[in-house]
Structure 1
């Protein structure tokens, strides 16, 4: 791996240690903490009864192996589902597999994740992505900030930053909690010229690593802004080298232990 990075980027566990554990489960996040992740990343969606849960997809087919839309279900309904078996469907046939702890494999509420971070024995940051479009619109951000306020994490010094592909969602957060850091996610290189005039002066940038690889001029343009850059999803040594060459602030990875090992030589 190349050397000479200006500073070590923050290692952010994407949906937890999701390369080895089922994404967005408490088990995945506890593993990421054990592996020394500097920060945890999660996606949040709102249930029908107003709870924020850590789920990426709007429907449940991939991660809970059944039909259903998160926004139309109550938390109690989601709580009955197994969100981990899809990751290792043959585990029940493995006599050497450790006994499962159902609490680690259920739907994870954002409140539970915040409590886990608050109780941890070192500072851990949180990168929370609000998913759009959604039937609840701006209610997602309002519920998020209500919850952050309970933890005292809606003000300067908060360990939380909010990310979204929706710049209007980030504008809502800025109006409601001006001191919460914001990251404008960038899905396609050709979106950047349209986003640049409308995003806040102090927002950070979150490009995908594939776009940086496929469009080198995108990385050059982002670096010239002088803004912190948080790149997703960085899972190989080649991808990490690209990030180090750009001097990015954070790398979001499914493999926090592996990336830490690369950075630490």
Structure 2
């Protein structure tokens, strides 16, 4: 029997093609056949979870303000897509962009998009820390997942974080959710093991596979699942396949799927 191929997870949507974390990026990723969607979540000043990576808006919305200091209605006035294609308005052949798809994306709307999609799609949701709201982020996340019936067994969602404290909060609030501990240092896994639980998934960056393959092999030999970010080339994908990676998180879901099918 052929081995099961790794799950292809669209990193902030199809973010090589469209502005990250916009509805446009996620719709393209779904159309390309992504198995799952990855997003980062932050809490606004009025308590809404929004899909934004950076703590401030300088890179994605050209604003010198913090996401946590703004209300949702303020964020909705901003264009989160223009930075990706700054010359689009001068291109007569470019398709008309839907401004609604380049607004700030709430996690609620992303969950609804997945719930309404005609095939099963999973979600990998990263909570960002440190933040002024601390554990409130995880509490709001679990409450929202619960509204969709996705906080228990069989949920299509899993929660990721570089913070083991955040993951332990999720375990207390929703014991059945799958948890991914993200790592960008070769020491992270060893430091966290006494504080983690046996079923946690390891989430190393691709550079850890490249520079510390023996560490990754030890993690796999212990029976731990691997979800790797950010995998954007054939060489990186082959390395993931060699290490038995279960999920590859990529800016280019179409490319990764084409490689796997080939």
- Counterpart of 1:62 in structure 2 is 59
Note the C-alpha offset of 1:214: 1.2
Q: Does 1:21 align with 2:18?
A: yes
Q: What CA deviation, in whole Å up to 9, does each residue of 1:5-34 have, x standing for no partner? A: 832000000000000100000000000000
- Report the equivalent of 2:164: 167
2:98 matched to which residue of 1? Answer: 101
3-state SS of paired residue (1:127)? strand
1:118 aligns to what? 115
Give the match for residue 189 of structure 1. 186
Match of 1:263 in 2: 260
- Over the aligned positions, Cα root-mean-square deviation in angstroms equals 1.1
Unaligned runs of 5+ in 1: none
1:84·1:105 contact (CA, 8 Å) conserved in 2? yes
Preserved CA contact (<8 Å) 1:132 1:166: yes
Large movers: runs of 4+ above 3 Å: none
Q: Please, what TM-score do these two structures have when normalized by structure 1?
A: 0.97
- Using the alignment, how far apart are the partners of 1:87 and 1:221 within structure 2? 39
Q: Distance in 2 between matches of 1:250 and 1:225?
A: 17
Q: Secondary structure at the match of 1:126?
A: strand
1:33-48 alignment, distance < 5 Å: 33-48=30-45
What's 1:71 paired with?
Answer: 68
- Is 1:133 the equivalent of 2:133? no
Residue segments in structure 2 that go unaligned for 5+ positions in a row: none
> Which runs of structure 2 are paired with 1:147-162 in the superposition (5 Å)?
147-162=144-159
> Following the alignment from structure 1 to structure 2, what is the Cα–Cα distance between the partners of residues 123 and 6?
21
SS of corresponding position for 2:89: helix
Equivalenced residue count is 262
